[in-house]
Amino acid sequence: MLTAYDYPTALALDECELDLVLVGDSLGEVELGMDSTRGVTLAMMAHHVAAVDRGLSRTHLVADMTLGSDSTVQTAVLNARTLRDAGANSVKLEGAKIPQVEAIIAAGIPVMGHVGLLPQTAEVYRKQGTTEAEADQIVEDALALDEAGCYCIVIEAVVADVATRVTDAVTAPTIGIAAGATTDGQVLVSTDLVGQLPEPPPFVTPRANVRQIVIDSGRAFADEVRAAQ
């Protein structure tokens, strides 16, 4: 799974034989220049989901529920429908919000779970599952999401051994990010993968340097125009 936030990226990723494309609320940080994901609204998400949907013809599109959009069962179902109507095939919720998960699934919309680091509510970004109690809670949350019917579960920034425990415990496929190599799949922010920002996270090895390509192309254009004056 890779993220996409716009039509051109979606067109390219649709050619990559990915299992899933995620319109994540990470768009707040990597596309909109925000300090966190917390400022992303559902309307923003729907806008970007619609753009990505126009670029996909074969890849399953997942959309993040934003902070507060799943605070109650009623609002969760309503907002999940909004994302579905914008083009999402499924939605992702952070944390073990079991009543909301069950209600969204009952409304006919598949749900992806998310355990470990929860960026929408985390006060500090750190590795999760470093204590026995924390590790047990992550496994318990994943099992509850699995039982509630999530078709897949993201495990973010979790100690590798704990990610293995989760993967072994649940029936749904797991997708890791900064959680070791034993999950069933992996997800990355495409902006980090292609080197579009100055400083990618330490767990990412960029496969390209798109930022430098843009700089070089822009400078070449400016030099060409000035030389012709």
Residues annotated as part of the active site = 156
Straight-line distance from the first to the last Cα atom of the chain, in angstroms, rounded to the nearest whole number? 47
Q: Across the chain, how many H-helices and E-strands are there?
A: 9, 8
Q: Which residues pair with 9 in a beta bridge?
A: none
Residue type for position 73: V
Helices (H), the chain: 7-13, 27-30, 42-55, 73-86, 98-106, 132-148, 160-169, 190-193, 210-227
- Determine contact, residues 86/53, Cβ cutoff 8 Å: yes
Distance CA 102, CA 147 (A): 10
What is the DSSP code (8-state) at residue 50?
Answer: H
